[in-house]
Amino acid sequence: MKELIRITTSLTLSCLIAGVVMGSVFILTDKAKRHNKQINISQTMLGLLGYDKDNPSPADLELYTVYRYIIEDGAVKTLGYMIPVETGAKGGFELVIIDLAGQFVNRFNLNITPENAAEPPERKAALNAVLKPPKRFTYADSTIIAKRGDKRMAYLLPGAFPGFKTFIHVMLALDPDFTIIGLDITEHEEDPGLGGEIQEDYFKNQFKGKSFERTRELLVIKEPLPKEYKQYLESGKGKELLKGVIDAVRAKYEYKDIYALTGATISSKAVTNGVKEMTSKFAYRLNIMDSVIERQHIPVAF
Amino acid sequence: MPATTKTTSQLLFNGILSENPIFRLALSMCPAVGITTTVMNGLLLGVAVLFVQVFSGCTIAAIKNHIHPRIRIPTYTLTIATWVTVIDLILAAYLPDAYKQMGIFVKLIVAFAIITMRLETFACKNTVKSSFWDGLGMGLGFLLGMMTLGFVRELLGMGTLFGYDVLGVRPLLFFVLPAAGFFCVGFMMAIFNYVELAYNRSKTAKQS
């Protein structure tokens, strides 16, 4: 019995000490970690828009985020868009509820500041205030709208789809006509050297400049990547080509399908289909959202 | 096993050569096979293991008199898990680029056989100082093993080294797959064994 008590106390004590050590390290590093993540996301976004260290983003570039929620009221499902609006000095958010057929249902003012809106718990609290039980809501996705001056410049869509192993997380940039500006792979677990090559410029840059109509019919072809095209795709990485050559190669391959990666057809197809699906779904949703915004005269910020 | 009588340098080289974790003890084969697709991966994980090995060894050596013999394995696991979590959090916070590449592997260090084995056979019977040197030797041995494997596999599989294009072609694409890790480990073990045999033979030849 005495033995048992000794074992129990020493195990509990060591667990406690371990917990305290881990907890304090977590508290010390949490801020830096979150900061890193934020920087990472904003760097990816600005990179897709064509800005980097040597070419900083202009001061009048503004990014607005629209959060999409799925609202369940019994068996009835509706979509809730948390839209940044221009009210007051700092701006706020409005929840616009649209049914599955695309018809406007209701709108609410949300008590949340733009700074707090990036935090999921803050958003949940603000939504709880207007969506009373038995209504339930789940977060679906978010869209970032880049605005320069008073014109929309691009849409940034974070998304995920199944790859060869697990989910591939991407960030897709579209211009106002839904032509692809760029694609970035933010997270993946494909085999390094094979499917892992999806994050290389010579694969992901193939999507650049594909128009909305072209994207819808995009296929994956199993042909070797032409050398000049590869050079063109990698031309952002210091291997500069002549200006005339760039334009010629771009024109030549603009309507081409996606060249599959050697030994990674499944990953190549997964990314292509994922991008296709994201683009078409987003275009459909945005048109509905924009028409509702216009008819309801919502003072949106973007 | 009584407390060790080996000197500092003997402890250090013990882990690197005569008891190399990967090539001689054949422990922690999962990371050796799964992760060493590039030199950089091998280096980063090796460094993380080195830290965990040294810190856990010192911790266990310091508290060895208070550990009840019946719960020593849970205590080792707890110690390792604590240090791994600490390393994981620090890497995520201050070395985000490196963490992005090998974040998921760092958490796996908890299950590495080599660390528990060193705590059980060495740290719980020796002083903090010799445990430190033993941990450093073992960690370095693991680091060098991982880097050697990564070197061979990255060069033959992808034709690059540290991400820079060296060969311009990919001689054997097959080498980036986990199965090729076994081949590499096998060949390296054969080389290590051959070197030891040759060394012993020359020693006996000299004596006779």
CB-hemisphere CA count at 13 Å for B194?
Answer: 6
Would you kindly state where each structural domain of chain A is located, as residue ranges? 58-302
Residue A88's pLDDT band (boundaries 50, 70, 90)?
low
Chain A positions touching chain B (beta carbons under 8 Å): 3, 6-7, 10-11, 14-15, 18, 21-22, 25-26, 29-30, 32-33, 36, 40, 189, 191-194, 262-263
pLDDT at B6: 76
Measured between CA atoms, how close is B165 to chain A, in angstroms?
Answer: 13
Name every residue whose Cβ is closer than 8 Å to that of residue B90 and which is 6 or more positions away in sequence: A25, A29
Q: Which helix (H) or strand (E) holds B188?
A: helix B178-207
Residue B1's pLDDT band (boundaries 50, 70, 90)?
very low
Decide if A193 and B94 are in contact by the 8 Å CB cutoff: no
Chain A residues with CB-CB distance to B94 below 8 A: 29, 32
Chain B residues with CB-CB distance to A14 below 8 A: 75, 78-79
What's the CA gap between B171 and B178, in Å, rounded?
17
**Best mutation target, A13, A20, A36, A184, to test chain B (most B CBs within 10 A):** A36
Instruction: Please classify residue B141 by burial: count the beta carbons closer than 10 Å to its beta carbon, then call 0-12 exposed, 13-18 middle and 19+ buried.
Output: buried
Residue A70 near residue A137 (C-beta atoms within 8 A) = yes
What does the pLDDT look like over A211-224, one tens digit per residue? Answer: 888 888 888 988 88
pLDDT at A266: 92
Instruction: Please classify residue B104 by burial: count the beta carbons closer than 10 Å to its beta carbon, then call 0-12 exposed, 13-18 middle and 19+ buried.
Output: exposed
Residue type at position B16 = I
Decide if A26 and B81 are in contact by the 8 Å CB cutoff: no
| Phi and psi torsions of A140, nearest 5° | -105, -65
Question: Does the pLDDT value for residue B116 go beyond 90?
Answer: no
DSSP calls for B7-35: -HHHHHHIIIIIT-TTTTS---HHHHHHT
| Phi and psi torsions of B177, nearest 5° | -80, 150
CA torsion, ordered B17, B22, B25, B27, to nearest 10 deg: 150
Does residue B2 lie in a domain region? no
Q: Which helix (H) or strand (E) holds B139?
A: helix B128-158
Helix (H, G, I), strand (E, B) or coil at B6: coil
Chain B residues with CB-CB distance to A22 below 8 A: 82, 85-86, 89
Q: A154 to each of A15, A16, A143, A176, B54, how far by Cα in Å?
A: 51, 50, 10, 6, 50
Checking DSSP bridges between strand A167-174 and strand A180-187, what pairing results, if any? antiparallel
Checking DSSP bridges between strand A258-259 and strand A220-221, what pairing results, if any? parallel
pLDDT at A16: 93
What's the CA gap between A45 and A146, in Å, rounded?
9
Measured between CA atoms, how close is A7 to chain B, in angstroms?
Answer: 7
More confident: B22 or B142: B142
Does residue B1 lie in a domain region? no
ipTM score of the complex? 0.72
Least confident of A137-141, A241-245, A290-294: A241-245
What's the CA gap between B131 and B8, in Å, rounded?
10
Take residue B119 and report the two structure tokens written for it.
């705590």
Query: What total number of domains does chain B contain?
Result: 1
pLDDT at B149: 87
**Pick from A234, A152, A176, A235: nearest CA to A201:** A234
Chain pair A-B, CB pairs under 8 angstroms: 63
Measured between CA atoms, how close is A26 to chain B, in angstroms?
Answer: 7
By the CB < 8 Å criterion, does B148 face chain A? no
Chain B residues with CB-CB distance to A194 below 8 A: 173, 176-177
What's the CA gap between B167 and B159, in Å, rounded?
5
Does residue B179 lie in a domain region? yes
Residue range of the domain that includes B27: 8-207
pLDDT at A273: 93
Does residue B3 lie in a domain region? no
**Pick from B72, B146, B150: nearest CA to B109:** B146
Does residue B48 lie in a domain region? yes
What's the CA gap between A67 and A80, in Å, rounded?
8
Name every residue whose Cβ is closer than 8 Å to that of residue A57 and which is 6 or more positions away in sequence: A46, A49, A51
What does the pLDDT look like over B151-166, one tens digit per residue? Answer: 888 888 878 787 777 7
What's the CA gap between B145 and B42, in Å, rounded?
8
| Phi and psi torsions of A148, nearest 5° | -125, 125
pLDDT at A237: 55
